[in-house]
Amino acid sequence: MTAISRSKKLVVQLAVLVLIALGTSFALEIVDPQQAQAQSNVRPPANAVTSPVGGTVPGASSGNQSDSEMWRAVRKGIKGTVSIPDKKAGQLVQSEGDAWRAVKNGPIAKWGVIGLGGMVALLVLFYLIRGKITVDHGMSGRTMTRFADMERMGHWLLAVSFIVLAITGLNITYGKYFLLPVLGKAGFATIAGAGKWLHNYVAFAFMAGLVMILVMWIKENFPNKYDLEWLAKGGGMFVKGVHPPSKKFNAGQKILFWLVIWGGLGLSLTGIALLFPFQFGFPTGMEPIQQMQFATTWHAIIALVMTIVVIAHIYIGTVGMEGAYDAMGSGEVDENWAKEHHSVWAKEKAKSRGGRKSKAVPAE
Ligand code: HEM
């Protein structure tokens, strides 16, 4: 017999075997569906004896009882009672923790990177297309006071603490992907440990800054008649020579203000819940451990959204707009800058200043 005819015979034999197997299972299905199901399904039939030894396993070294139904219930989060003060110990496995970890390391981490990277890319694009927003009438050389010392102190307390919290917080979420491979385990552990320490304590400076700007700026951040026009014209950001009127804060700044205030409050409350775990029983109807999972999830979402928005704010306050940084740097802004970006405020300020002269900036 040649090699070709031998392999042909083998294929035919295999095909016949497969046909027999298929035929048998088909016949079984017709003749005795129950038996067929018992053979094809991993689930035992209803009348099967699942634990022939009644949970008793021979041998003493690893225990005599092994009840799969009980362990299944434990895995699904069944709660028992304990006599020690920590009542949480009555639940051995909290299965929602799986979902919590998957959401935090999955969609939240993924959309955070997309949001952060997307914002940086948008700003680079904006800079390439629009360039730096300059003062159309040129700098006048005369300045007026925009923010008093206390206002700038509150802003910088908030800003510096937020940046420290953002960097150390991003390290908690992303450090294991970006820094760990570069620094190695020991190096990363040192950085992450110091970062966590900073994150915990700098949080209080952030809260203090938040309260300061709330108290000092709230009255200028309620909506007024100029806001809709400002929004409709995109704040004049996209077209040279367009300057919608505005009081001390324009609609964009008000949106940032309220986002920082409400976001900051959310960060503070969830942060305090994490800083002092299981100390406060929030009236949420949730289990204490669920409250912690809820707190970390919200903390991460709010922090990422705020960081994405603050990146745009920092851009406009530095490279994006000529003359803007001075407002928070020295507290003095050029009169022409004030007239173009906050015309109503500049007029009111000039009126209240009466006969007093504005400061002339000495020639360099
Ligand atoms: C390097 C970082 C930062 C720079 C250069 C910067 C710059 C500025 C400037 C120049 C202003 C005044 C704008 C004006 O006169 O109209 C301002 C205002 C403000 N900043 Fe910042 N800032 C920074 C970080 C932050 C951070 C991290 C936050 C909050 C977490 C923040 C919150 C605010 C708020 C709420 C205002 C008032 C509303 C507004 O002007 O948009 N800033 N900032």
Residue 294 included in any domain? no
Residue 215 included in any domain? yes
With a 6 A CB cut-off, is 256 part of the ligand 1 pocket? yes
**How many structural domains does the chain have?**
1
pTM score:
0.80
Q: Kindly state the tokens that stand for 321.
A: 């707009």
With the most atoms of ligand 1 within 8 angstroms of its CB, the residue from 162, 262, 313, 340 to mutate is 313
Residue 343 included in any domain? yes
Residue 235 included in any domain? yes
Residue 214 included in any domain? yes
Q: How far is the CA of 155 from the centre of ligand 1 (A)?
A: 7
For the CA of 206, the nearest atom of ligand 1: 30
Q: How far is the CA of 221 from the centre of ligand 1 (A)?
A: 14
Residue 19 included in any domain? no
Domain containing residue 311: CATH number: 1.20.950.20
Residue 78 included in any domain? no
Mean pLDDT of the chain: 86
pLDDT (tens digit, 9 = 90+) per residue, 32-81? 445 444 444 456 566 665 555 565 655 556 666 667 888 888 888 888 88
Helix, strand or coil, per DSSP, at residue 208: helix
For residue 239, pLDDT over 60 is answered with yes
Q: Choose between 45 and 89: higher pLDDT.
A: 89
Phi, psi of 234, rounded to the nearest 5 degrees: 60, 30
Cα distances from 246 to residues 65, 167, 215, 255, in angstroms, run: 76, 33, 21, 14
Interatomic CA distance for residues 312 and 122, integer angstroms: 9
Q: How far is the CA of 320 from the centre of ligand 1 (A)?
A: 13
With the most atoms of ligand 1 within 8 angstroms of its CB, the residue from 155, 255, 306 to mutate is 155
With a 6 A CB cut-off, is 318 part of the ligand 1 pocket? yes
With a 6 A CB cut-off, is 302 part of the ligand 1 pocket? no
Across the chain, the runs of DSSP E, i.e. the strands, are 142-145, 332-334, 359-360
Residue 276 included in any domain? no
Interatomic CA distance for residues 245 and 351, integer angstroms: 17
Q: Domain containing 161: what range? A: 144-250+306-360
Residues whose CB is less than 8 angstroms from the CB of residue 200 and which lie 6 or more positions away in sequence, other chains included: 275
pLDDT (tens digit, 9 = 90+) per residue, 108-136? 999 999 999 999 999 999 999 999 999 99
Residues whose CB is less than 8 angstroms from the CB of residue 112 and which lie 6 or more positions away in sequence, other chains included: 173, 174, 300, 304
